[in-house]
Amino acid sequence: MILSLVLHVAPGQKIGDALQQAREVYDSRGETTTIRIEPGTYQEELTIDVPGLRLINASRHPSIGLRNHGVDADPEAVRITWYYGHGYQYRSMGPTPNYGGRRTRRWNASVLVTAPDFYAENIIFENSFNLYVSSMEAQDSLVDISQSDLEWTEKERPKKHMPERPKVVGSTMVQLKAYRERAAAISFTEEARRAHLKNCRAVGRQDVLYGDQGASIYWEGGMLCGAVDFIFGAMTLAVDRATIVANINGESSDRCYIAAGRSGSDGGGRQLEQSAARGMLFYRCHIRNADPNELLILPAGRQSADPQVWLARPWRSWGETVWAYTTWEPGLLNPQGWHTGLTKGEPCPNSYEFHSQDHSAGRPEWVHILVKPRLPDGTRLNPKKWGKVKGEK
């Protein structure tokens, strides 16, 4: 593919309009596009369906910082955000039921990537649903989906009742656990191969970064911020030297489970074949708590006797997750490190650690503590080559 077209987007303009130009150029000439975006917050729901598309923060001094408990972005940041979350039916959605994962843009992703070779640099990808009330949400109307007039069978009708959401722009009340539900910042379908995100930030609370089986993502530097199973799916993912931020505010039972993988063998729990797609590799990452710039921390927060952060809570027992050279704030990580809440206590044998800050005696017996930087099948822990077949660039 030839990289030729460069488009510019400034505050007041829409990234979606530039995307439409990119589609037209690719369809007519097969050329790919770079979209350079001036700093600002862009409230848009985007679908990246153009192969080779590149999103770049156009600032000379780009930032991915947040301010004011996560409500505002730094002046030199580019933030792409939308507000749809699970459990509510929004007027702007029309009649499509907002329920389930694959039926709702992969958990209501603000940005949905459906094409190969996507590249982003110095961009914040956000879903504001669990963080603050955006101006777009305040203008919309919504109803608890369990009480909506959509046609459901009795079996299909959602049983969980959602609270009435505040309508004040900038309200951080929605950070409280009572409001928390699934709301992805960025998701990747199976067609989204060879995605590369450099010094980007994904931010939310629950189900923040998702990938289908077949998607392959290299996340270089930057930050991943969330709480409940917030990096999840069956994608092949390598996170290289990133900061992982536990977006928990200190409420009772407010917990953080970082990874929830479901990739692996055929589901029988057997070791992956070397040529098969891999699961998740976290390489030389640092884990820390959110600070008041990023989240509203309750005055009596984080008083629990036991640390409330886990490396992983596998989505399926055969999901593969690897943590290598991991560090974290003292007292942050629960000694167990791994959780089986989603597998109903079933062991998860494709779970590995290598050269972590410490390997607590509390680790489950099915977690493999590697003595060399390679998996039992010989696969080396190299984030730049993770999941690639021989000869693939």
Beta carbons within 8 Å of 219's beta carbon, 6+ residues apart: 197, 200, 237, 238, 239, 240, 242
The label of the residue with tokens 């044998």 reads 349
- If you average pLDDT over residues 201-206, what whole number do you get? 97
- If you average pLDDT over residues 267-286, what whole number do you get? 68
**Number of residues written out for the chain:** 393
Q: Which of 17-21, 82-86, 146-150, 250-254 has the lowest mean pLDDT?
A: 146-150
Query: How do residues 89-107 score in pLDDT, each as one tens digit?
Result: 999 988 877 876 556 789 9
Model confidence at 270, in pLDDT bands (50, 70, 90)? very low
Q: Is residue 175 within 8 Å of 98, Cβ to Cβ?
A: no
Number of domains comprising the chain: 1
Residue 361 amino acid letter: A
Q: So what's the pLDDT on residue 96? A: 78
Q: What is the mean pLDDT of the chain?
A: 89
CATH code of the domain covering residue 332: 2.160.20.10
Q: So what's the pLDDT on residue 2? A: 53
**Assigned domain for 331 exists:** yes
Q: So what's the pLDDT on residue 269? A: 41
Give bridge partners of residue 240 from the DSSP assignment: 220, 283
- The domain containing residue 387 runs over which residues? 227-393
**To the nearest 10°, the Cα dihedral for 67, 123, 313, 297?**
0
The label of the residue with tokens 């030729």 reads 4
Q: So what's the pLDDT on residue 276? A: 52
Tokens (6 digits) for 106: 């992969």
**Assigned domain for 111 exists:** no
Q: Which of 37-41, 269-273, 366-370 has the lowest mean pLDDT?
A: 269-273
**Assigned domain for 264 exists:** yes
Q: So what's the pLDDT on residue 303? A: 53
Q: Which of 84-88, 215-219, 304-308 has the lowest mean pLDDT?
A: 304-308
Beta carbons within 8 Å of 7's beta carbon, 6+ residues apart: 18, 21, 22, 33, 34, 35, 36
Q: So what's the pLDDT on residue 277? A: 73
Q: So what's the pLDDT on residue 109? A: 96
Kindly tell me if the per-residue pLDDT of 268 is higher than 50. no
Angle at 83 between CA 77 and CA 87, to 5 degrees: 150
Tokens (6 digits) for 111: 């940005």
Sign of the torsion formed by the C-alpha atoms of 312, 317, 321 and 323: positive
Q: Which of 6-20, 118-132, 255-269, 337-351 has the lowest mean pLDDT?
A: 255-269
Q: Which of 146-160, 289-303, 338-352, 356-370 has the lowest mean pLDDT?
A: 146-160
Q: So what's the pLDDT on residue 119? A: 97
Task: Read off φ and ψ for residue 81, nearest 5 degrees.
Answer: -145, 150
**Assigned domain for 22 exists:** no
Its pTM stands at: 0.94
**Assigned domain for 361 exists:** yes
Q: Considering just the CA atoms, what is the radius of gyration of the chain in Å?
A: 20
Sheet holding 123-127, edge to edge: 40-43, 78-82, 123-127, 201-203, 223-226, 243-246, 286-289, 327-328
Kindly tell me if the per-residue pLDDT of 390 is higher than 80. no
**Assigned domain for 340 exists:** yes
Kindly tell me if the per-residue pLDDT of 306 is higher than 90. no
Q: Between 228 and 157, whose confidence is greater?
A: 228
Q: So what's the pLDDT on residue 208? A: 97
Q: Which of 137-141, 150-154, 226-230 has the lowest mean pLDDT?
A: 150-154
Distances (CA, A) of 273 to 109, 258, 259, 326, 351: 31, 25, 22, 25, 15
**Assigned domain for 99 exists:** no
Residue 68 amino acid letter: N
